[in-house]
Structure 1
Amino acid sequence: MNEGDPMEVRLMRVDSRLLHGQVATNWAKVLKVDRILVVSDQVAHDNIRKTLIKQASPPGIKVHVIPLMKMLRIYFDPRFNDFKALILVENPRDAQTLVENGVQVKLVNVGALSFNSSRQMVTDSISVDQKDVEAFTWLHDQGVKLDIRKVSGDPSKDLWKVLTEKGLVKREPNNIHA
């Protein structure tokens, strides 16, 4: 990579569980990453969760738990250009913030989003609220493919299509990527 290229993000994944066995063993190996960047303001300030996440890291792969704004700083810092990274975020709004601020991804993988009474189930492992739908809509409008897969070998499902079929998308997208 040359001096002007930011770090290589091999995958951005939205998963409310963040780093767990499936991510650690499957995605990291398939993607041949050398860093897993868990990007979460909440977890970065929670030493117990941070320790548990680091313990889940696969052998030979460094795991860093960092706040959102620090991720944006290191993404553009030439000292980190050689990273081959898997970025994990807890929710689609954090993915949107990263992309809005220049993190380059063509695809966002969605693993699981936990259910609660304010959220609507859209698949067996993904539930959304209105803010999630707005973030996914924004990402879709930027040309980012929204991929549903738990592990890399699963068949890819299009989250945008699922959201549209469930009637959660209230308008036509602003671009030609529909």
Structure 2
Amino acid sequence: MGLHSISFISFTMTLHLTRALQSRAPAFPHARQSFLRVPPSHLFSSSASTKIPKKSILTFQSRNMSSAPAKKEFLCILPDKPGAQAKRLEVRPQHLEGVKPNVASGAIVAGGAMLNAHPADGETPSFKGSMMLAVAENEAQVLELLNNDIYTTSGVWDMENAQIIPFKSAVREAL
């Protein structure tokens, strides 16, 4: 038996072992993110320029699944209280500064003002409220974020009529 035949047999045994182990993976749901692989140190090049395992035993690696809970998106529709236009304009610089850390941390991924109509050039917009796309573990975290915003504490947003809607982005692009 030549070297090429032994390498082929070793490769075939490795392939069958890999398939057998992979077919067992669903029996271990806690190892969902686990995977089989041949470490680069266990490979050599054959004359056919293909990588063949040096050993017929594969290593099994698993990822620690104690990661943080998954974050979810929430669409926030935040209407302004009637007559809040002047207060909104007064505290707007503080609102924009307060939003920056939440944007930097990924807690807010989109947002802006909702208008009654697009203003003509040079006109002050007539605000209707705000829209925000927040990322959090749950709705309670989003509500906490909104309640700490100056638009809420200064009485601009009508939180009794605010909507926090579970959301899944398909497309997100800046202007």
- The structure number with the bigger radius of gyration is 2
TM range, smaller chain: under 0.3
- TM-score normalised over the length of structure 1: 0.24
- TM-score normalised over the length of structure 2: 0.24
Flag the structure with higher strand content: 2
